[in-house]
Amino acid sequence: MSYLLLFTLTKSYLTVEMFLKIEYSMLLFACIGIFGLIYFYIYLPETENKTLLEIEEFFASNLKDRK
């Protein structure tokens, strides 16, 4: 997913810069990056001070809940 998003953003940069000035295109891409940072902060589980077994159990229980 990351590679697809990075490819899309890289290829769309020149087109976006044609329609917007460079300042606004940089602002747009900065907002996209900040949104991604907030998304990851909210939706990624905290793994600090947890064993690999605890992390595995967390993801295994989430898979069972989805089925």
Residue position matching structure tokens 């690999």: 52
Calpha distance 47→55 (Å, rounded) = 7
pLDDT in tens, 3-34: 998 898 889 888 989 999 889 988 988 998 89
State residue 48's pLDDT score. 80
Cα 2 from Cα 51, distance rounded (Å): 26
pLDDT for residue 63: 65
48-64, pLDDT tens digit by residue? 888 999 888 888 876 66
Helix (H) or strand (E) holding 53: helix 52-66
* CA atoms within 13 A of residue 38's CA, in its CB half-sphere: 6
The reported pTM is 0.59
